[in-house]
Amino acid sequence: FIRNVIEIPNVMVVPASSPYQSVEQFIKAAKDKEMTFSSAGVGSSIHMSGELFKAMTGTKMTHVPFRGSGEALPALLSGDVDVSFENMPAVLAHIQSGKLRALAVTSAEPSPYLPGVEPLSKLGANLGLGDFVTTAWFGLVADDSMPDEAIQTLQSALDKQLDNESFKAFVAQLGGELATEEGDDFRDYVAEDVKRWQRVAGQAQLDQ
């Protein structure tokens, strides 16, 4: 495990035509009637964020998987599905244009790219979502056989790249943030992430 590079939050979004203006309104409605949530495919961060939300809130939600966000977004924009927990890059322009309404972000802190949109963990602190934090992360890993010297060289090269202004601009275009975990810290981060999603998959009976 060499280094985590980028973390991108998911965004809880509803169509502009949706009657739900807040997370609280959505949860209240979803406890009374069945809702649908779309994703880019089974097991994606979008899907698993929806399953985690469903499990933590006790809401009635049916997963509608698509083959990628390119197919999932039209269904969301048209109102064929009620909600999604899409990756920031896929929905940012649609939120800014008013075609989608952002109810919350899934990161621990607000995103600078969506001012005024609060994290689910804060908005839903009294709704069972106080620990809800998810991001799509992208890191660099290597086989255990790679020499320590080579790993240190890669870490050093990544440090320089992460400080490059062009790379920072690229991350900003994605609506992401630079990650900080490296080495053993990154290994522990991944291990905890795997355990959490295994629990969510078990609750959603995805492992059957």
8 Å CB contact between 37 and 117: no
Predicted confidence at residue 172, as pLDDT, reads 86
Give pLDDT, residue 207.
Answer: 57
pLDDT score, position 144: 83
10-135 has which CATH code?
A: 3.40.190.10
User: In the predicted model, is pLDDT for residue 208 greater than 60?
Assistant: no
Q: What is the pTM of this model?
A: 0.85
CA proximity to 203, closest of 52, 35, 22: 52
pLDDT tens for 50-59 read: 999 999 999 9
Output DSSP code: residue 182. B
Whole-number pLDDT of residue 177: 86
The domain segmentation of the chain, as residue ranges, is 10-135
| Coil/strand/helix, residue 47 | helix
Per residue in 182-198, pLDDT tens? 888 988 988 888 888 78
Give the integer Cα–Cα distance in Å for 92 and 45: 17
